[in-house]
Structure 1
Amino acid sequence: MISAAISTSIDQCTKSLFSDLGLPCPADLTIAIEQPAQLEHGDYATNIAMQLAKLLRKAPLHIAEALKSKMEADAELMKVIQRVEVAAPGFLNLWVDWGRWAAAEIGGEAGVGAGATSATQPFQNGKVVIEHTSINPNKSAHIGHLRNSCIGDTLARLLRRTGNQVEVHNYIDDLGNQLADTVVGLQQVQLDGEHARFGDFCWDTYAAVNKAYGENPALLEERTRVLHALEEGGGNVAWLGLLVAERIVREHLAEMRAFGIKYDLLVWESRIVREGFWQAAFDLLRQTPQFALETDGKLAGCWVLRETEAEAADAGAADKAEGTDSAGDAYHKDKVLVRSNGILTYTAKDIAYHLWKFGVLGIDFRYQPFEAEVWSTQPTGEAAPFGRADMVINVIDHRQSYPQAMVKQALAVLGYAAQAERLRHVGYGVVSLSPAAAQELGLDTSAGKASYAMSGRQGIGIKVAELLDRMEGVIDAKRSDHEGLASREIAAAAIRYYLLRFSLLTEVVFDIAQATEVTGNSGVYLMYAHARAASILGKAGVVEPLAAPAFAEPEKAEHALLKQLADWPDRLAAAARELTPHTLCSYAHELAVLFNNFYGACPILKADAESKAQRLWLTAKFQATMADALGVLGLPAPSRM
């Protein structure tokens, strides 16, 4: 990475400057390197001299000149930097020697992101477990679930791409209220009509039984009975629940596979309960003063995880800042893990699961193949090296921040503070429907809202399989050339990119027309740019990787594209460090725009020999970098659309 080379040089030169002055260099100095928006300000710039002005009690321009002299004496840096200039009030501006950059390893294929690898590993030489999807196995998946899966899968690709060992889990909640509702519905509600898939039938069953609860509240007692039966296992109801869950999980996996989403392990919640994982966690928690059985009040009979003194202080400070008083608020104080009727909360099972994820519970699952390349927890299976994570990343709706904090607190209470620090919750905003999409589903949009929420209980939403079918039809109708990538692949890529490109906490208002646009910030636009580059190289007869040419002074469009290409390792590193897939979408879109600008401004195949060699190399470099970015985002890199 060019920025890493610059940062290393500035760090060494700064230490040398402090040493020359007989002063200790501060250990917490942050060196910021940026790419200026204006080309006349250099390819890279830093304000380090202004940061040092107060410490050294010297003018920033004087400090910048001293650093400039030291940097120019750095032979390693000057292999890729053409010149260094000082600009008022104390900036250091650096220009890259693009010919040397192209010829060096930092500009070759190995350099595309390779320099980012070791610096971006969340846990050096460790294992990262990513949990995502984790859909209730009681009905077909909808696009809100798909956003979770696309984010999680992209994080897995991103962390693998930057040199991490990654294991992907899909947690199957086969003991929850939702599955119990579907089981009650299958037993108590009569449905008519044709359904293409079992999950679609259960979609309508789930909506119907929730309507029935409103009409006949006594039916809720049946749900409680079913929940107990599912937890106990072995009886007719438990087997019915297992058959429903397994059938729907297979449908979910097939739906996700169409989007390139894969898993290593399915972890079934029932196995956590029936094979003693919760009991082992319970025994550990009972040894702590924070976990106790309530004997009076509204939580009498419940096992709760009480807040620590530090939490109480934090909550009190927050209340004081907000002008509120939550002195008796159970939300802060009483975190129920086992209800008075003996039913475990979701968080209780999640605590046991995370103790196992980090390899500190003392017991393990057994495993067997569920389908191709996907394993499943199964008591009659075999031993395998799953779990034992050094870092855990959970992709879960941002509204689940509180339960995630409870899991983190439980780890800390049990003495696993280091593991608690290495538990990361990647929250994201919900997916709702645009007015046009809602209207297509037959919803009443007369209220004129900007978006319409989905509701599984009411049967309102866009199913993943139906969305892919619709999008395939839209893509097929729009395209004139059907010889390239299949319309279904383009549709899946368009949907996936649309769900990824928004910042994580943004509510995504899904609109079919926007997702299939061929211009603007869309997956289709990115794939077209890659296909255009492939076409140019094909017409030029390029079949082998091109050697870097002797670079002439690049034109403005070439220069802008070069800077963006050089920035890929930094952007890849930042996305891995911050766990932000949407920043990769921004990078890829900017790259496609700059390549198309370059294509429009600079003749390639009809250029003179020197310019043609340079521009073909740039085109090949763009294609390789875009293919890398598309691969991390989980999109195809087609040679023809």
Structure 2
Amino acid sequence: MLSQLIKNSLEQCISKVSEGLGILGSSPVNAALEQPANAEHGDYSSNIAMQLARTLRKPPAVIAELITAELKASGSANGLLQRIEVAPPGFINMYIDWQVWAQTDFALPQAGGEKVIVEHTSVNPNKSMHIGHLRNSCIGDALARILRKTGHTVEVHNYVDDLGNQLADTVVGLLNVPLAGNHVRFGDYCWDIYAEINKEYAQHPESVHKRTEILHALEQGHGNTAWIGNLVAGQIVKEHVEEMRNFGIGYDLLVWESSILKEGFWASAFDLLSQTEVFVQESEGKLAGCWILKQSAGGGDSAQDTEEEHQKDKVLVRSNGILTYTAKDIAYHLWKFGLLDKDFAYSEFNSGLWTTGLSGEVLPFGHADKVVNVIDYRQEYPQAMVKQAFQALGYHEQAERLHHVSYGVVSLSPASAAGLGLDTSAGKSSYAMSGRQGIGIKVTELVRLMEDSIDATRSDKNGLSSRLIATAAIRYYLLRFNLGTEIVFDFKQAMEISGNTGVYLMYAYARASRVLSKGGALAESGSGNSGNSRNDRDSADNLYSANSIDKSDNVDSIDQKEGDLPLFPLQLEAAELALLRQLSLWQDTLYTASRELTPNTICNYAHSLAALFSNFYSACPILKGEASIVAFRLWLTRRFTGTLGEALDVLGLPKPERM
């Protein structure tokens, strides 16, 4: 990475300066870099001289001059720094030689093939998915793509809770609630059944005992009720997997909760936990007869732990013998890290997707170096309990490598809720979705509504389909917010062609591709030094008439080969420099997103990159002017398509040649 190379050079020079002054630091110096907003202050800048003033007992400006002299003497970071200047009171401002940068192959820090298990989606198999579930899947899939791009071996799991209350409620409803109506899919029918049985519970609380009876039958795993549960869950999961495939989202393994019990995973986990002091059976109080996970030694009892919902979460086995979700999750995670003496058998669910079961093949799933779980913020405490179990068992390193990617829930804007026929007379700023009440928007329904809306605005309906544009727009909308943000979904905002939207990014890519096509260049994303190839092209015609390139552009004299690196102008235009600076940040951004597990970091980068290209396109005629200038601007456009193409890839969006 560019920043890392400069940082390493800077720190080596600091070490030499310190040694020259006879002062050796007790620990290595961390020379932080920043990219100034104003390019006149450098492409990179560091205030390290001011931080070292007390240690080196020199004024910051003097220290900065000494470091600058050492940087120049040592080759200016392999020739990447064209100028290095000192600015009061001691800033070191560094200016990139962009011609050298363009010829340099940069590499990301090596992940060493580290295996990461990413668990996402994990929707209860009791009804169709709604848009809140979709945010989970989009985040998880983007993280898997980011981690693969940064050299990790990634295994994607979808955990199927086929022993939970939600499935039990749906089975109770199917057995007891008569329901008619027009339903295309079984999951949609169960959506209504689930809402109806919860109305029944509210009106007749005594009927909730039916759920407990069904839960027992599901856990026992044999008999009529268990088979009904298997059939219901199997069909709905099949529909879920197909829905996600339409968004470019896939999995390597379906892990069924019932398999964890049948394979004896919990029995092995129970034996391990029984050897600790924190796993005990309560003998009195509300939790009498329950097996619970006590707070770690020295942790004390926090007020949070005394809340009723958290009291329930730390129960692993209820007094009636039924396991909680947390108990099964602990066993599952011990297996993920290869810490159990058990394994599943595996069979194909469909092409390329495997599922756990009682019979099948032996395959190398699990044994992760790192685990990433995408689960909304409401599951923060149960996730913490899994970590606590690991720590109690002495698996401290694995506990540190278990990451909960928490995110905010999705609600509907008033306009979107009204469009779905919901009562918005209360005048709320947003309307929460509730499966129990049947309130929300199914994923398939959302796609259909947006597809119809896009289709109505298109003059030319050839090329990239309205459905693909709709799924890309939805996917990007759910990714672009900070993870902790609770999204208020609005159909209109998601489809806008300006601003931070998926349509805007695809439009920018298509525009650049059209420029390259008109310039006689091959629009391959592996051009120059970008290090990528685009094997799958999504051909698209214009979605909006404004996407076409000015026909007056003169392209007759352009004859530039794909891999040629032109001479850069001695004086870059402001728009050219701004675009180059943003392009140079790609690897840093990708690495940061992989370390911090934040796909929205990629969204912010891609939007800024597209906006800077739009500015460059407007300010700098690409296909007009002297041959050398045209050659440089075509190269810059190809570099843009290569980099934006990588960003679109990791976000799971198509790369259309035309919109």
Identify which of 644, 647, 658 aligns with 1:626. 644
> Which string of whole-angstrom CA distances, capped at 9 and with x for unpartnered residues, describes residues 326-364 of structure 1?
779794798210001111000000000000000001110
**What does residue 144 of structure 1 align with?**
132
TM superposition shift of 1:476 = 1.1
Deviations 1:210-249 (A, max 9, x none): 0011122222111100000000011100000000000000
**1:24 CA drift (Å):** 2.2
Residue equivalent to 2:533: none
**Residues 401/197 of structure 1: CA separation in 2 closer, same or farther (3 Å cut):** same
Task: Please give the alpha-carbon distance, in whole angstroms, between the structure 2 residues aligned to 1:283 and 1:161.
Answer: 39
The CA deviation at 1:179 is 0.1
Contact map agreement 2:500 2:607 (CA 8 A) in 1: yes
Residue 105 of structure 1 pairs with residue 105 of structure 2: yes
Q: 1:63 to 1:283 in 2, by over 3 A?
A: same
Greater Cα shift, 15-24 or 403-412: 15-24
> 1:215 pairs with 200, 203, 209, which one?
203
Determine if contact 2:506/2:654 at 8 Å carries over to the other structure.
yes
* Secondary structure of 2:432's aligned partner: coil
User: Corresponding residue for 1:560?
Assistant: 578
| Alignment match of 1:133 (pick from 121, 144, 147) | 121
Tell me the equivalent position of 1:111. Answer: none
Match of 2:443 among 439, 447, 464: 464
> SS state of the match for residue 654, structure 2?
coil
CA drift at 1:132: 0.3
Aligned to 1:353: 332
Amino acid at match of 1:599: Y
- Per-residue CA shift, 1:363-392, capped at 9, x if unaligned? 100101001110000111110000000100
User: Does the 8 A contact of 1:231 with 1:274 survive in 2?
Assistant: no
- Alignment deviations for residues 411-438 of structure 1 (CA, whole Å, 9 cap, x no partner): 1111111111100000000000000111
TM-score w.r.t. structure 1 length?
0.95
Q: If each structure's helix is expressed as a fraction of its own residues, which one has the higher value?
A: 1
Alpha-carbon contact 2:472-2:503 (below 8 Å) kept: yes
Once the two structures are superposed, the pairs formed by residues 71-90 of structure 1 within 5 Å of their partners are 71-75=71-75, 77-90=77-90
Residue by residue over 1:179-230, the C-alpha shift from the partner in whole angstroms, topping out at 9 and shown as x without a partner, is: 0000000000001111010000000000000001112222211110000000
d(CA) in 1 for partners of 2:400 and 2:463? 47
Is structure 2 residue 62 aligned with structure 1 residue 27? no
1:393 maps to amino acid: V
Q: Does residue 386 of structure 2 align to residue 369 of structure 1?
A: no
Matched residues, percent identical?
60
Residues 26 and 593 of structure 1, relative CA distance in 2, 3 Å threshold: farther
Aligned to 1:258: 246
Give SS of 1:446's match.
coil
Say which of 248, 263, 270 aligns to 2:236: 248
- Give matches, 1:121-520, under 5 Å: 121=111, 124-312=112-300, 315-316=301-302, 331=310, 335-520=314-499
CA distance in 2, matches of 1:330, 1:629: 41
Gap change, CA 1:536 and 1:339, over 3 Å in 2: same
Match of 2:606 in 1: 588
**Structure 2 CA distance for partners of 1:299 and 1:327, relative to 1, 3 Å:** closer
Change beyond 3 A, Cα 1:332–1:214? closer
Task: State whether residues 310 and 381 of structure 2, in contact with CA within 8 Å, keep that contact through their aligned partners in structure 1.
Answer: no
Q: Residues 549 and 614 of structure 1 are in contact (CA less than 8 Å); yes or no, is this contact kept in structure 2?
A: yes
In the alignment, what sits opposite 1:110?
none
How far 1:74 moved relative to its partner? 1.9
What does the per-residue CA deviation read over 1:457-504, in whole Å, with 9 as the maximum and x for residues that have no partner?
000001001111111111111222323311111110000000000000
Say if 2:136 and 2:374, in contact at 8 Å, map to a contact too: yes
1:43-80 CA distances to partner (integer Å, 9 max, x unpaired)? 11111111111221211111100000000112261422
Question: What is the distance in 2 between the residues matched to 1:242 and 1:329?
Answer: 32
Q: Which runs of 5+ in 2 are unaligned?
A: 523-560
- 8 Å contact kept, 1:151–1:581: yes
Runs of 4+ in 1 over 4 A off after TM superposition: 325-330
Gaps of 5+ in 1: 107-114, 320-324
Distance 2:188 2:200 in 1: 18
Show the counterpart of 2:597: 579
| Cα-to-partner distance string for 1:510-558 (whole Å, 9 max, x where unaligned) | 0000000011100000000000010000001112633211101210000
Residues 135/327 of structure 1: CA separation in 2 closer, same or farther (3 Å cut): closer
Partner of 2:568: 551
1:322 aligned residue: none
One-letter amino acid matched to 2:503: V
In structure 1, what is the Cα distance between the partners aligned to 2:176 and 2:307?
Answer: 41
- CA–CA distance in 1 between the matches of 2:26 and 2:640? 40
C-alpha separation in 2, matches of 1:193 and 1:333? 38
Whether the aligned pair in 1 keeps the contact of 2:313 and 2:326 (CA below 8 Å) is no
Alpha-carbon separation, structure 2, partners of 1:59 and 1:332:
58
1:517 and 1:417 map into 2 onto residues whose CA distance is: 47
Q: Does the 8 A contact of 1:306 with 1:334 survive in 2?
A: no
- The alpha carbon displacement at 1:117 in A equals 4.1
- Match of 1:623, SS state, is helix
C-alpha separation in 2, matches of 1:430 and 1:165: 29
Bigger RCO of structures 1 and 2 (CA < 8 A, at least 6 apart): 1
The answer to whether the Cα contact below 8 Å between 2:76 and 2:82 also exists between their aligned partners in 1 is no
Deviates most, 125-134 or 154-163: 125-134
2: CA distance between counterparts of 1:475 and 1:182? 35
Report the residue type matching 1:499 in the other structure: L
* 1:343 partner amino acid: I
Q: Within 5 A, what are the aligned runs for 1:533-548?
A: 533-543=512-522, 545-548=562-565
SS where residue 297 of structure 1 aligns? coil
> Partner amino acid for 2:475?
R
Shift of 1:34: 1.2
Deviations 1:239-277 (A, max 9, x none): 000000000001000110011001000000001011101
- With 18-27 and 393-402 compared, the bigger mean Cα shift is at 18-27
Structure 1 residue 507: Cα displacement: 0.4
Q: Whole-Å Cα distance in 2 between the matches of residues 258 and 480 of structure 1?
A: 24
Q: Give 1:147 deviation, angstroms.
A: 0.2
Q: What's the TM-score, normalizing by structure 2? A: 0.92
Residue in 1 that maps onto 2:47? 47
**CA offsets 1:284-329 (integer angstroms, 9 cap, x no match):** 11111111111111111100111122321xx55xx6xxxxx97797
Q: CA RMSD in A?
A: 1.5
Question: For the Cα contact (< 8 Å) 2:411–2:430, is it kept in 1?
Answer: yes
SS at match of 1:241: helix
Partners of 1:102 and 1:126 in 2: CA distance: 30
1:95-128 residue CA offsets vs partner (Å, 9 max, x unmatched): 111112112334xxxxxxxx2241xx3xx44210
- Cα distance per residue 1:543-594 (max 9 Å; x no partner): 2633211101210000000000011011111111111000100000000000
The aligned amino acid for 1:17 is: V
Find the aligned partners of 1:149 and 1:74 in 2 and give their Cα distance: 48
| Paired letter, 1:9 | S
Q: Is the 8 A contact 1:278 1:352 kept in 2?
A: yes
| Displacement of 1:23 | 1.9
Residues 350 and 407 in structure 1, CA contact (< 8 A), matched pair in contact too: yes
- Partner in structure 2 of residue 109 of structure 1: none
Is 1:103–1:547's contact at 8 Å kept on the other side of the alignment?
A: no
**Cα distance in 1 for residues equivalent to 2:350 and 2:109:** 32
Which whole-Å CA distance do the structure 2 matches of 1:570 and 1:177 have between them?
A: 44
Contact 2:173/2:194 (CA < 8 Å) preserved in 1? yes
